């Protein structure tokens, strides 16, 4: 990922991004397999692990080894044994073929050095009946979040997702700062 600066403290982030509610709204349920690409310290991976429960799986990757170590420590502290994370580049991360019910990008797609390669890998990871979800910042100037010049517009993100072999099924605003794109493999 291109930057390490936290754009919001965790409490403010929880208030605006509501990870549990977001994950449930995209259809994450018990026993599913969830792939968190650009997982960081587990802002979405940890709630996902609680939602899918012990028989579900959460896989994640992040280029920042310190973030992965923090995520592993937090998961251990909560006795969450259904999380498997890797420190590495999402451009080369394919933990399995056709295994994930949901491949998720939480505020991350704009950060990869080669988003097209990351999305091609996501296409390999997602199950035939699964979905890809991209939750990200709107491309507007704001007091919080990454600089506007590195953000992807909904149109750009949707185009990249479609080019990787997905059909975009919805593009929705979420609050005043974010958008949510859902797609299915074709």
Distance CA 1, CA 142 (A): 21
- 57-62 and 126-137 as β-strands: parallel, antiparallel, unpaired? unpaired
Q: What is the mean pLDDT of each run of 10 residues along the chain (186 residues)?
A: 54 80 97 97 96 97 97 97 97 96 97 97 98 97 92 98 98 95 98
Which residue has 């994370």 as its token pair? 85
Which residue has 């072999």 as its token pair? 165
Domain edges within the chain: 10-185
What would the CATH number be for the domain defined by 10-185? 3.40.50.150
pTM of the full predicted structure?
0.93
How much is the CA Rg of the chain, to the nearest whole Å?
15
Nearest of 54, 28, 53, 32 to residue 100 by alpha carbon: 32
> In a 3-state reduction of DSSP, which class is residue 172?
strand
Answer yes or no: are the C-beta atoms of 178 and 105 closer than 8 Å. no
- 33-37 and 57-62 as β-strands: parallel, antiparallel, unpaired? parallel
pLDDT, residue 6, reads 52
pLDDT, residue 8, reads 65
Answer yes or no: are the C-beta atoms of 65 and 39 closer than 8 Å. no
Distance from chain centroid for Cα 143: 23
Phi and psi angles of residue 5, each rounded to the nearest 5 degrees, phi first:
-65, 125
């Amino acid at each position: 990922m291109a930057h390490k600066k936290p754009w919001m403290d965790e409490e403010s982030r929880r208030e605006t991004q509501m990870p549990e509610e977001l994950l449930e709204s995209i259809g994450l349920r018990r026993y599913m397999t969830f792939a968190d690409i650009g997982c960081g310290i587990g802002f979405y991976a940890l709630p996902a692990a609680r939602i899918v429960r012990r028989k579900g799986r959460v896989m994640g990757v992040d280029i920042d080894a310190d973030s992965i170590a923090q995520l592993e420590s937090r998961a251990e502290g909560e006795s969450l044994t259904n999380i498997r994370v890797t420190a590495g580049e999402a451009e080369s991360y394919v933990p399995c073929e056709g295994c994930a019910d949901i491949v998720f990008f939480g505020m991350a797609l704009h950060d990869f050095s080669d988003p097209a390669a990351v999305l091609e890998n996501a296409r390999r990871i997602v199950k035939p009946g699964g979905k890809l979800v991209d939750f990200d910042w709107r491309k507007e100037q704001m007091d919080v979040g990454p600089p506007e010049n590195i953000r992807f517009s909904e149109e750009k993100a949707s185009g990249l997702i479609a080019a990787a072999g997905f059909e975009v099924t919805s593009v929705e605003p979420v609050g005043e700062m974010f958008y949510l794109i859902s797609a299915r493999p074709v």
